[in-house]
């Protein structure tokens, strides 16, 4: 009886050890799989910027009417064309306004159409569809601010480069002038010394 109980205890102990090892191995495999999935998902997930958000918005909410094939009002708002179609481009409805005015963003006619502001020609955009939510209009506004910031940074960088080039040219000219002045001074000194008359000839003073 005692031997039977002892054998049962040993068998149960071994079974517990085997189950624990199996559970630990499964947990490790699950963790590794999860990690690989997360890494793969992060690698496939595109980087979200104000520009990519705006591109996705225009494609989803506007490209049905403003696609590359016979776009309404000749305005193409697809992912790859919306920037060149709206930035500092004159509106066909109100020619005194630009679709996206980078110098006066609040007067951008495209924003006015999306918001349904007073003074627009025709109806609010998008036509025959629910109007954009405030969060969606904010995406367009943030993209415009992003464009303005990028242009300002490019202008500042170009100005710094011009200033550096001008400074280098001025320094080179100054160095050249200094070198020329030094050379002229040495030559002039020699000629001056040769022009001084001697007081004696053959060791005798003149009367």
Domain chopping of the chain, boundaries: 50-152
d(CA 59, CA 156): 32
Higher pLDDT, 120 or 161: 120
pLDDT tens-digit readout, 10-40:
444 544 444 445 445 444 444 454 444 444 5
List the single range of 17-21, 42-46, 47-51, 152-156 with lowest mean pLDDT. Answer: 17-21
Give the global pTM: 0.59
Note whether 114 and 132 are within 8 A (CB). Answer: yes
Q: Mean of the pLDDT values across residues 97-120? A: 96
Average pLDDT, the chain: 77
- Judged on CB neighbours under 10 Å (0-12, 13-18, 19+), 114 is buried
191 band by pLDDT with thresholds 50, 70 and 90:
very low
Whole-number pLDDT of residue 185: 57
| Max mean pLDDT range (53-57, 177-181, 200-204) | 53-57
Whole-number pLDDT of residue 90: 97
Cα→Cα distances 96→93, 101, 107, Å: 9, 11, 10
């Amino acid at each position: 009886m005692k031997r039977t109980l002892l054998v049962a205890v040993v068998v149960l102990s071994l079974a517990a050890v085997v189950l624990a090892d199996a559970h630990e191995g499964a947990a490790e495999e699950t963790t590794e799989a999860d990690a690989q999935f997360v890494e793969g998902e992060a690698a496939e997930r595109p980087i979200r910027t104000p520009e990519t958000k705006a591109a996705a918005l225009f494609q989803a909410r506007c490209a049905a009417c403003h696609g590359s094939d016979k776009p309404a009002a000749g305005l193409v708002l697809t992912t790859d064309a919306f920037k060149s179609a709206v930035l500092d481009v004159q509106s066909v409805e109100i020619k005194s306004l630009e679709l996206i005015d980078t110098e006066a963003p609040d007067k951008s006619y495209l924003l006015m159409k999306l918001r349904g502001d007073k003074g627009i020609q025709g109806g609010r955009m998008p036509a025959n569809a629910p109007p954009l939510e405030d969060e969606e209009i904010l995406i367009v506004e943030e993209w415009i601010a992003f464009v303005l910031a990028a242009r300002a940074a490019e202008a500042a960088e170009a100005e710094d480069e011009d200033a550096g080039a001008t400074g280098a040219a001025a320094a080179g000219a100054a160095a050249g002038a200094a070198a020329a002045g030094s050379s002229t001074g040495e030559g002039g000194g020699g000629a001056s010394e040769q022009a001084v008359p001697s007081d004696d000839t053959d060791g005798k003073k003149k009367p």
